[in-house]
Amino acid sequence: MPPKSENMTRTYSCEYYTVKAYPMSCFFCRHCTDIFFDYTHGPYMFMCELDLDVDLGLQGKCDGFEEDDEGSA
Q: What pLDDT is attached to residue 73? A: 44
Backbone angles phi, psi at 3, to 5 degrees: -65, 150
Give the number of domains in the chain. 1
Residue 23 lies in a domain: yes
Is residue 51 domain-resident?
Answer: yes
In a domain, 63, yes or no: no
42 domain-assigned: yes
The pLDDT tens digits for 35-66 are 999 888 889 999 999 999 999 999 999 999 99
Residue 11 is assigned to a structural domain of this protein: yes
In a domain, 69, yes or no: no
With helix as H, strand as E and coil as C, how does 12-66 read?
EECCCCEEEECCCCHHHECCEEEEEEECCCEEEEEEECCCCCHHHHHCCCCCCCC
pLDDT of 72 > 80? The answer is no
Judged against a pLDDT cut of 80, whether residue 6 lies above it is answered with no
Boundaries of domain holding 11: 6-58
Specify the pTM. Answer: 0.79
| pLDDT number for residue 15 | 86
Count of other CB atoms within 10 angstroms of residue 11: 12
Question: 18: alpha, beta or left, given left = phi > 0 and alpha = psi -120 to 50?
Answer: beta
Query: What is residue 1's predicted lDDT score, i.e. its pLDDT?
Result: 45
| Residue 22 confidence (pLDDT) above 50 | yes
